[in-house]
Amino acid sequence: MAMQGGTALQEKVSRMLSRKHKKPVLKPNKPLVLKDEVANRKIKKGEATCVTEMSMMMACWKQNNFVDTLCSNEMQSFYKCVEKAQIAVKNKSEQHTIGQSGRLQPKQATILLKRYPNLHVEI
């Protein structure tokens, strides 16, 4: 059984090779050269916050026919959580603009690459 799989693989490889030069027939659709700029992607946002508090608040509303006064404790805990999350996001964005996060924005990386073309960066 293993031999049959091996021969099938060899047949596929031999079909992919040209008969004349023994080079792959497949050609890349783009040149295999690094660009002088960095892709301008948005940095992904983190995971959702305060989901537990929000679900507790909604469950309380459902149990109490959506009366806010009966769910004031859950609402307060949800609003406190949201406030803390907003403060954390604000602090993180301030650090990011200052450059303390250790990661360059794509625009900053492109500027550095243009300014220092012989710069080598390890990933």
Q: What is the CA radius of gyration of the chain?
A: 28
The pLDDT confidence band at residue 117, using thresholds 50, 70 and 90, is: confident
Instruction: Count how many domains the chain has.
Output: 1
Identify the pLDDT of residue 56: 94
Q: What backbone torsions phi and psi does residue 88 show, to the nearest 5 degrees?
A: -65, -40
Packing angle of the helix pair 72-98, 51-63 (nearest 10 deg):
160
Identify the pLDDT of residue 20: 61
User: Is residue 21 in a domain?
Assistant: no
User: Is residue 42 in a domain?
Assistant: yes
What does the pLDDT average to over 83-97? 79
Alpha-carbon distance of 34 to 117, in angstroms, equals: 12
User: Is residue 74 in a domain?
Assistant: yes
Residue span of the structural domain in which 90 resides = 33-115
Identify the pLDDT of residue 1: 46
Contacts of 26 (CB under 8 A, 6+ apart): 16
What does the pLDDT average to over 66-72? 91
Percentage of the chain lying above the pLDDT 70 cut: 65
The pLDDT confidence band at residue 89, using thresholds 50, 70 and 90, is: confident
Structure tokens at 45: 């946002």
